[in-house]
Amino acid sequence: NAGVTQTPKFRILKIGQSMTLQCTQDMNHNYMYWYRQDPGMGLKLIYYSVGAGITDKGEVPNGYNVSRSTTEDFPLRLELAAPSQTSVYFCASSYRGPGQGVFETQYFGPGTRLLVL
Amino acid sequence: GDSVTQMEGPVTLSEEAFLTINCTYTATGYPSLFWYVQYPGEGLQLLLKATKADDKGSNKGFEATYRKETTSFHLEKGSVQVSDSAVYFCASGELGNEKLTFGTGTRLTIIP
């Protein structure tokens, strides 16, 4: 299994440009997440999905959009890039089953470093 | 809301020294607790976890015990190696709250 893969590894955007960060997992996980990691800070949740066709906002969703048309893919879209979106973006996935009694482990991709100038 | 507070870094130790990185949490219920490690240029990897009080998670010589009475999950290792140099994140997750709550991370550097 490749686990969680993300592309690209690094990207420079100009203010106002748009781009899509790709995320794919091959573990048949139902839950997927997007986090951002700012320097010296912990990770903040942007959006998450509990299954294909279902997405919801996290703590810091402004300026981003997501879709989940398949179990495997969870792309993150930046429509009008701003310097405040300079960050490292991590995709993660997990499996939560019916009646699960504990919070499950999330598995992370290698990250996409984004610089907005 | 839920929060995780962990020891400020950076931490620099000599090889074979004893390591403790403190982590405390606040939660409304009974969270699962995690330590993730981020090696330079890589994503986060699960290091260990514990899902209930008094559970001990362990991996690669690292240990952490879920202490409900002190709301803590301190990471320890008896003898660190240069290869342990990384950033360590403590995190909590509670059912009903979809996200992991992360601490700010502790950068650990081990010198030979």
**DSSP annotation string for B2-40:** -EEEE--S-EEEETT--EEE-EEEE-SS--EEEEEEE-T
Q: Which of A15-29, A54-68, B91-105 has the lowest mean pLDDT?
A: B91-105
Angle, alpha carbons A60-A64-A67 (nearest 5°): 115
DSSP 3-state of A1? coil
B78 Cα to chain A: minimum distance (Å): 25
Distances A77 to A17, A64, A69, B84 between C-alpha atoms, Å: 11, 6, 14, 35
A63 contacts chain B (CB < 8 A): no
The pLDDT tens digits for B23-66 are 999 988 889 999 999 998 888 999 999 999 999 999 999 999 99
| Nearest CB to A90 within list B43, B51, B105 | B43
The amino acid sitting at A106 is: Q
Q: Under a CB-based contact definition with an 8 Å cutoff, are residues B37 and B88 in contact?
A: yes
Tell me the C-alpha distance between A49 and A30, whole Å: 8
CB contact under 8 A, A42 and B52: no
Nearest chain B residue to A91, by CA = B43
- Residue B41 makes CB contacts below 8 A (sequence gap 6+) with none
Out of B36, B94, B103, name the one closest to residue A103 (CB).
B94
Q: Do B43 and A106 touch (CB under 8 A)?
A: no
pLDDT tens column, B58-95: 999 999 999 999 999 999 999 999 999 999 999 999 88
Average pLDDT, chain A: 93
